[in-house]
Amino acid sequence: MKVQTLLKELGLKKDNPGVYAARWLAGRGREPLASCSPHDGAVIARVQRATLADYDRAAAAAVAAFPRWRDTPAPRRGEVVRQIGNVLREHQEALGHLVSLEMGKILAEGSGEVQEMIDIADFAVGLSRQLYGLTMPSERPGHRMYEQWHPLGPIGIITAFNFPVAVWSWNAMIAAVCGDTMVWKPASTTPLCALAVQNLIAPVLRAHGHPGVMNLVVGPGAIGQAMGEDERLGLVSFTGSTEVGRGVARAVASRLGRHLLELGGNNAVLVMDDADLDLAIRAVLFGAVGTAGQRCTSTRRVLLHRSIAAEFTRRLKRAYAQVRIGDPRAAGTLMGPLVTPEAVADYEQALERIRREGGRILCGGKVLRSGAYRKGNYVLPTLVAAPDDLPIMQEEVFAPILYLVTVNDLTEAIAVQNDVPQGLSSAIFTGRVADAERFLSHGGSDCGIANVNIGTSGAEIGGAFGGEKDTGGGREAGSDAWRSYMRRQTCTLNWSGELPLAQGIQFG
Ligand code: NAD
């Protein structure tokens, strides 16, 4: 699909010469934000950069829209979300292309990301009739006790570049059926994806008379900071690095607001002596090389039982040699570029540290700077033989670097797996039920996600998604994650005509 055709289909029209402006942002003529292709560095478009005053207007719109949205019955809110899901269905191909063009993931993953938006919209529609509260037996006669869930109010959603549209939808679709209004601040490297989404959903919201329910502000980190400090936002859902997330958490906590944190991961796959190596190698390849290692759930460490370590390593190296790297929108490409030249610099620095700290690079370990790769942010996927105490292995490097560590048994594998600050995703490959159960038990993986015989990345929306420790403890998407977006009210209703006190207290 040609870039101009793509942008046109997604309603991205030029307002000022050369500038794609979000029509809902006031103020013209500021220094625009350039959206650059990670494939060749070309400027795809320039986008108006929001100021703090724009943010203030967007937050005010969310505040103003809240009472009517809150009073709209949840199933009717679900109907609006159903129509948003339909619009996304209609434009799945174009939006998937744009994700690929602007962020650099391959087409299949770009389209898969939009599929995730559609799935969560469907999930939220069903949820709109299932925002259940419990009823509890009261200890007092003639009393009924129950809890109910009310909309929280306007919320903030700050998202990372690597899932430029799906992470917003995990939050927005659920928050919308819960009755919240919202302001979204996407990463500044992927503004077009966000504008395209807003262009698609705005007509649906307008048609239902709720234009202020979902608001977008495309701008720098300072806007995210303002959201953290903004008393008007009952919840700030932040997806991004642990370092920035910590600051957001502090700001929100200091005003006693709520935060939902989805931060960095450092995910391991354990491959036991009886593992099906065909499955394990395919899962590790997708987990480590998919999205060029730029998923929060990317596989970063493989813990290999000593008896299969040599064979696994040999076969994985062979698989790495066959990975086709290139234009993410070309058929047959398995790995696209990194998002920015800065990400390439981080990859190079990590390689230096790996060598210095005693890791051994088995393959890859190079930036691609010639031929078709010359202008893009291309690197080779890298395998590193690592001792279990390699210092850099404690950190999340957002690039396709995979550490291979040899372990002697399951006890050691679990200990190494848990011995990092992050706790997002984990997996074990084994045919032994007892080993699988041990890995899943409370003494096993300490991560928010623990899988058996599938890899660390590629979660389904039906489960609650998130992780522990430095990953932030938040849960998004399915299961009962919706509760984060509502306030719980415990109600006791007395129809007895008496006034008995709890705990049998007699007063006066
Ligand atoms: P980042 O932390 O650099 O940016 C995330 C967002 O925060 C962006 O929108 C950015 O503009 C904004 N921001 C920057 N400074 C801010 C500030 N001071 N206050 C508030 N917001 C600010 O992260 P990134 O590079 O875009 O994304 C990669 C990171 O995100 C990785 O660590 C990855 O693991 C993590 N991530 C986690 C999940 C998850 O669900 N756990 C999902 C996707 C990405």
8 A C-beta contact, residue 7 and residue 200: no
Query: In degrees rounded to 5, what are phi and psi of residue 193?
Result: -60, -45
> Is residue 192 located within the same domain as residue 292?
no
Closest ligand 1 atom, residue 424 Cα: 41
> Is residue 289 located within the same domain as residue 422?
yes
For residue 28, the model assigns a pLDDT of 56
> Is residue 336 located within the same domain as residue 204?
no
Average per-residue pLDDT for the chain? 96
Q: How far is CA 497 from CA 137, 138, 143, 500, 505, in A?
A: 18, 15, 10, 10, 17
> Is residue 306 located within the same domain as residue 377?
yes
For residue 32, the model assigns a pLDDT of 83
What is the secondary structure of 155-208 as a DSSP string?
EEEE--SSSTTHHHHHHHHHHHHHT--EEEE--TT-HHHHHHHHHHHHHHHHHT
Q: Is 221 in the pocket of ligand 1 (CB under 6 A)?
A: yes
Element (H, E) at 417: helix 410-418
467 located within any domain: no
150 bridge partner residues: 487
Q: Is 396 in the pocket of ligand 1 (CB under 6 A)?
A: yes
Last residue of a domain, one of 423, 442, 461: 461
8 A C-beta contact, residue 213 and residue 222: no
Domain containing 68 equals 3-230
> Is residue 202 located within the same domain as residue 273?
no
Q: Is the pTM of this model over 0.85?
A: yes
For residue 26, the model assigns a pLDDT of 44
Number of other residues whose CB lies within 10 A of the CB of residue 376: 25
Q: How far is CA 119 from CA 23, 62, 237, 267, in A?
A: 28, 25, 20, 25
Residue nearest to atom 35 of ligand 1 (CA): 240
383 located within any domain: yes
8 A C-beta contact, residue 266 and residue 420: yes
pLDDT (tens, 9 = 90+) of the chain, 508 residues, equals: 788 888 889 988 776 656 666 555 545 556 788 999 999 999 998 888 889 999 999 999 999 999 999 999 999 999 999 999 999 999 999 999 999 999 999 999 999 999 999 999 999 999 999 999 999 999 999 999 999 999 999 999 999 999 999 999 999 999 999 999 999 999 999 999 999 999 999 999 999 999 999 999 999 999 999 999 999 999 999 999 999 999 999 999 999 999 999 999 999 999 999 999 999 999 999 999 999 999 999 999 999 999 999 999 999 999 999 999 999 999 999 999 999 999 999 999 999 999 999 999 999 999 999 999 999 999 999 999 999 999 999 999 999 999 999 999 999 999 999 999 999 999 999 999 999 999 999 999 999 999 999 999 989 999 999 999 999 999 999 999 999 999 999 999 999 999 999 999 999 8
> Is residue 330 located within the same domain as residue 422?
yes
Residue with tokens 């007395």: 494
Last residue of a domain, one of 461, 484, 501: 461
Q: Is 166 in the pocket of ligand 1 (CB under 6 A)?
A: no
Pocket test for ligand 1, best of 216, 239, 298, 401 (most atoms within 8 A of CB): 239
> Is residue 328 located within the same domain as residue 391?
yes
435 located within any domain: yes
318 located within any domain: yes
Q: Burial of 34 by CB count in 10 Å (0-12 exposed, 13-18 middle, 19+ buried)? A: middle
Q: Burial of 332 by CB count in 10 Å (0-12 exposed, 13-18 middle, 19+ buried)? A: exposed
Task: Please list the active-site residues.
Answer: 262, 296
488 located within any domain: no
For residue 20, the model assigns a pLDDT of 67
110 located within any domain: yes
> Is residue 11 located within the same domain as residue 143?
yes
237 located within any domain: no
> Is residue 78 located within the same domain as residue 203?
yes
Could you give the 3-state DSSP secondary structure of residue 414?
helix
> Is residue 413 located within the same domain as residue 349?
yes
Closest ligand 1 atom, residue 220 Cα: 11
Element (H, E) at 150: strand 143-151
Residue 103 sits in a domain of what CATH number? 3.40.605.10
What is the secondary structure of 309-367 as a DSSP string?
HHHHHHHHHHHHHT--BS-TTSTT--B---SSHHHHHHHHHHHHHHHHHT-EEEE---B
Last residue of a domain, one of 177, 205, 230: 230
DSSP-derived secondary structure letter, 379: B
For residue 14, the model assigns a pLDDT of 74
> Is residue 286 located within the same domain as residue 422?
yes
Sign of CA dihedral 20, 23, 24, 29: positive
> Is residue 100 located within the same domain as residue 218?
yes
Distance CA 438, CA 332 (A): 39
Q: In terms of DSSP bridges, do strands 182-185 and 155-158 run parallel, antiparallel, or are they unpaired?
A: parallel
Q: Is 239 in the pocket of ligand 1 (CB under 6 A)?
A: yes
8 A C-beta contact, residue 205 and residue 213: yes
Provide the number of structural domains found in the chain. 2
431 located within any domain: yes
Residue 349 sits in a domain of what CATH number? 3.40.309.10
Pocket test for ligand 1, best of 116, 162, 242 (most atoms within 8 A of CB): 162
Q: In terms of DSSP bridges, do strands 135-136 and 258-262 run parallel, antiparallel, or are they unpaired?
A: unpaired
Compute the distance from residue 196 Cα to the ligand 1 centre, in Å.
Answer: 20
Residue type, 387: P
Angle at 490 between CA 484 and CA 492, to 5 degrees: 165
Compute the distance from residue 240 Cα to the ligand 1 centre, in Å.
Answer: 2
For residue 4, the model assigns a pLDDT of 85
Closest CA to 376 of 35, 99, 38: 38
Compute the distance from residue 408 Cα to the ligand 1 centre, in Å.
Answer: 36
